[in-house]
Amino acid sequence: MVLGAQVLPDGSPSPALARRVAHAVGLVRAGRVGHLLMSGGPVGHPVPEARMMRDLALRAGLPPDRVHVEEESRNTIGNARLSAPIVSAHGWKRILVVSDAYHMPRALYIFRRLGLPAAGSGARPERPRAEWWAAHLREAFALLKTVYYLEIKGVTAPDRLP
């Protein structure tokens, strides 16, 4: 399962989105996964992130029957909740979550907390820049917020967490 990232205002993929898809395509080509489930709705742009990711995977040569989409979620909790029925419908027993490496601890916490059997594979840029390192710091605060919402407030609705 590939978690969404920003679609830029001009309709092109952000570096994070392109990096995640490239990493996932590499996993398919290496035989580590059989299918990709792209997860992400329209956040900040009318094109759902999942649709953009699907198009990138198809352009990379993956067969259409191996690329699936969930295009309603707006955050990581939504990725997990709204993808669960798709995972179940296909009979998949394990999930390999693909996201940026800095996002992986929080993503796996969410997926496992919501009962999905998930492992992770983190994408990394070739040359990390300042924004990559800043994302690590932002993610530490996001993890605290996520724990608060899931454990203390009991929020599990897909789009209740900003």
Which pLDDT score is estimated for 126? 78
Bridge partners (DSSP) listed for residue 96: 119
Query: Is-contact 136 128, C-beta < 8 A?
Result: no
* Structure-token pair, residue 90: 């296909």
What topology is assigned to 2-152 in CATH?
Rossmann fold (3.40.50)
Which pLDDT score is estimated for 156? 64
Q: Which position has the token pair 């649709």? A: 51
Residues contacting 25, CB < 8 A, separation 6+:
36, 56, 57, 60, 62
* Distance of alpha carbon 101 from alpha carbon 117, whole angstroms: 18
* Distance of alpha carbon 33 from alpha carbon 35, whole angstroms: 6
Domain spans in the chain, listed from the N-terminal domain onward: 2-152
The pTM assigned to this predicted structure is 0.90
Instruction: Count Cβ atoms below 10 Å from residue 148 Cβ, excluding itself.
Output: 12
pLDDT of the chain along its 162 residues, tens only?
999 999 999 999 999 999 999 999 999 999 999 999 999 999 989 999 999 999 999 999 999 999 999 999 999 999 999 999 999 999 999 999 999 999 999 999 999 999 899 999 999 887 777 777 788 788 989 999 999 988 888 866 554 443
Which pLDDT score is estimated for 21? 98
- Largest CA-CA distance found in the chain, in angstroms, rounded: 44
* Distance of alpha carbon 62 from alpha carbon 68, whole angstroms: 11
- The CA-atom distances, in angstroms, between 79 and each of 30, 49, 111, 130, 133 are 25, 11, 9, 27, 24
